[in-house]
Amino acid sequence: METTSNPSNEVKISLPAKTIVSTARSHLIDTIRKLNLFSSNPLWSPSLTENEQILSTRIFIILTSISLLIVVSYASLNIRTRTITLNKFSISDFEQLEALYPNTIKAPCTEVAVRYDKFLRVSAKFNQICSSPFIRKKWISSLFLYNATSHNILDFRTFAFSHYRSLGLLCQLARQAVNDAYDTFYSNRLINRYSFSRAQFDEVSSAVTINFYRNLLTNEKRIVSILSMFASKNQLISALRTNTYMVSKPGSKIFISYDRIYRELYGTEENLCECTLRDNQCVYPAGAFYNVTLSNLEKDVENDPSPQFQIPGLMAGCLPLEAIRQSTLECLFNQSCIDVISLQPKISRPRALNVSLTRFSLNLTIGSLFDNYLFIESWENRSSFENYFAACAPRYLSYSYESQFYLGTIITMTLNAFGGLVIALQLITPALVKVFKLIKWKKQRTEQTTTVEPRHVQIELTNKLLKRRKQAIVIHIHRTIHTFNLFPLKNKNDPDGERIGIIATRLYIFLTIIGLITLGIYTSLLKRNKTYTIDRPSSTQFEELYSMHSSTLTCSCSHLSMSYGRIMSLSPRFHSICSSEYLKDDWLSYFGRGSIPHDTYEILLIDFRASG
C-alpha cells in the first residue's frame, strides 16, 4: 500500500508547485514587460503615450546598466599611487616598511650631516713587535757599545743599538699615524638628506672604513718616502761610518771622504753597490764577527772572513733606518737567535715572539710591514645603525605604493555616479524615444502617400504636418520647462507651493549642472602620477629619460660606493727635468767615486762636486 501511495502523493504535490512557478514566471515577465518608470514623470508623462513610457523605461534601464558597468570597471581596474606619512614611528617600523617598500620609502633626516664618531668606531690591533720588550728602553740600552765603530760594519754589534731604536721609532710612528688618523676620521661627516636603510648603512660603513685604511697607508707611505729622500739627497753621514767615512791626510788639515761600497747578492752573483749612487739603499746580510776587528777602511765591504754566526733576516747597510727597513723579524721568532744577539748577559733575555699571533710571513721585510700595513695585524670595525638612526632623527616617514580602489571606494563611486546618471537619463531617454518616433512616423507617412499625387503636393503636405508637429513639440517643451517640478505637492490647488517647487527644481538642476561641469574640469586638469620601473637600464636609456623627466627620475645604484679608478683616469705630465739625463746614474756618477781616482779623492767642501 505504501509503494502505491507515494507516486500519487508526489503528483498531487508537484502539480501545484509547477503551477505556482509558472504563474510567478508569467507574472514576472508581464511585470517586466509593463514596467513603467515614466508614468509619473512630471516632465515627460503628459507628452508620452504608455507604450512610449515603457520603451523609455527599457532604454533607461539598459543605458543605466551599461553606464554603471563602465563606472564599476573603471573603478576596479584603475590603479592609483597612495602615499602614507607617519609622524611617529620607531626604528623597527622603519625597517619593516623599508623591507616592504624599498624603492619609495623616505625618511628625511633632521641632522643631514652626522659625524662618524656618533655611529662608527675603528680600532687597530698592532703586530706583537710593537708591544714587545725589543723596542723598550731596557733592551735597546743593553745593545749600546761605546766602541761600536771598531767592529766590522757587517757585525750586528756595530748597528744593533740604532737598529732596534729605529724599529721602536717605526712602531711609534705607526701608532701616532693611526691616532692622528682617528681624530681626522671621526671629525668627518656622513652627509645624506634621507636616512639610509640598514643594508645601505652597512655598505657605506664598510666603504668608509676601507677608504680610511687606504688613505692612512697612502699618506704614511708618502711621508716615509719623503723622509727617505731627505736622508739620501742631503747626504747624511752615519756616525757609525756605514755609508761614508772621513780620513785625515797625514801632514795636512785636509780630510778625505770615502763612500762605502757594499756587495749585493743576486742569487749566486755579487755586484758592487755605492751608497751615494743608490740613495743609501745598499744592504748586505749581517752576522756576528767575534774576535775580528775593523778591516782597512778603504776596502770594499766584504764578508771575509765569514761570520761565526749568520743572523737570519738581519741586514747591514748604508743607514740604520734603511737597513732595518730591508731586514725581517725572523730572528726575533727564534730564541736561539735572540740569545746570540743579546750583548749583556746580566740582563734577562726577552722571550721569542709567537709565530701563531701574526698573519704575516716571517720573510716579510720590516719596510713592507710598515709601508703596506703599519704593523697592523687586523682592524675592528664597530658600526651601529641604531646610533646613526638616532643621530639622523628623521622628521617623518613616508612611503608610496600602487593599489586598486577598495570595495568601499568602488561602492561610493558607483552610488555617486548613479544619482547623476538617473537624473541625466530621465531627461535624455524620453527625448530619444520622441526623436525615434518622429523619424519612424515621417518614414511611414512618406510610404503611405499615394503615388498618384504630384510630388510637390506630397512635399507640401509633409512639410505642413512636420511644421504642426514641431510647433506642438516647441509649445509642449516651453510649457514643460516653465512648469517642470521635481518636488510636486500632494495638494494640486496650492499655487504658492507649486511655484516654490518649480523654483527649487530650477535651482537643483542649475547646481547639478554646475557640479557636473566642475567635476569635468577637475577631472580633465587632474594630473596623476604614474610610476614606471625599468630594471637595469642602459646609460642611453637613463640619459633619454633624464632629459624628459629630470625632476622625477630616480635611479638607485646597486653599489653605493665605487673607486674613482672605475669612472675616471688621471695622468699628470711632469716637468721635463724629471725625465732628463741629469737624473740618470751616468750623470750622477760623475760626482761620485767612479769619476775620481781613489788615491786622489780629495774634495773640499766648497767644491760643487761635494754636493753635486
Q: What is the pLDDT of residues 175-190, one digit of tens each?
A: 999 999 999 999 999 9
Distance CA 456, CA 466 (A): 15
Distance CA 521, CA 569 (A): 56
216 and 355: one domain? yes
231 and 292: one domain? yes
Q: Is the confidence at residue 15, as pLDDT, over 70?
A: no
Q: Which of 481, 498, 525 is the last residue of a domain?
A: 525
Q: What is the DSSP letter of 87?
A: S
Model confidence pLDDT, tens digit, residues 501-557: 778 877 877 887 887 788 778 767 766 667 778 888 888 888 888 888 877 777 877
Distance CA 188, CA 184 (A): 7
Q: CB-based contacts of 75: which residues, under 8 Å, 6+ apart? A: 405, 409, 410, 413, 414
567 is a domain residue: no
**Comparing C-alpha atoms, which of 206, 174, 177, 122 is closest to residue 378?**
122
- pLDDT above 70 coverage of the chain, percent: 76
376 CB-side CA count, 13 A: 21
545 is a domain residue: no
Q: What is the pLDDT of residue 442?
A: 66
Total domains, the chain: 3
Q: What burial letters (b/e) apply to 479-502, b meaning 16+ CB within 10 Å?
A: eeeeebbbeeeeeeeeeebbeebb
Angle subtended by helix axes 91-100 and 385-392, to nearest 10: 100
64 and 210: one domain? no
561 is a domain residue: no
- 54 pLDDT band (50/70/90 cuts)? confident
Q: What is the pLDDT of residue 305?
A: 66
560 is a domain residue: no
* pTM more than 0.95: no
**Comparing C-alpha atoms, which of 172, 164, 169 is closest to residue 342?**
164
Model confidence pLDDT, tens digit, residues 66-111: 888 887 777 777 677 788 899 999 999 999 999 998 888 899 999 9
Q: Yes or no: say if 193 and 108 are a contact pair by the CB < 8 Å rule.
A: yes
209 is a domain residue: yes
378 and 414: one domain? no
What is the CB neighbour count within 10 angstroms for residue 33?
Answer: 9
Q: What is the pLDDT of residue 42?
A: 58
352 and 284: one domain? yes
200 is a domain residue: yes
Question: Of 118 and 449, which is predicted with more confidence?
Answer: 118
Distance CA 202, CA 475 (A): 83
| Per-residue cell: 252 | 795636512
| Per-residue cell: 233 | 739627497
Distance CA 37, CA 40 (A): 7
Q: What is the pLDDT of residue 523?
A: 66
Distance CA 375, CA 394 (A): 41
Three-point CA angle 447, 451, 456, nearest 5°: 95
The SS3 of residue 12 is helix
Average pLDDT, the chain: 78
- 347 pLDDT band (50/70/90 cuts)? confident
Q: Which of 525, 551, 585 is the last residue of a domain?
A: 525
350 and 423: one domain? no
Q: Which domain holds residue 588?
A: 577-612
Distance CA 377, CA 131 (A): 13
**Comparing C-alpha atoms, which of 88, 126, 82, 120 is closest to residue 104?**
82
Question: Of 442 and 153, which is predicted with more confidence?
Answer: 153
Q: State the average pLDDT over residues 417-434.
A: 73
362 is a domain residue: yes
Q: Is the confidence at residue 343, as pLDDT, over 60?
A: yes
The residue behind cell 753597490 is 273
- 492 pLDDT band (50/70/90 cuts)? low
145 and 262: one domain? yes
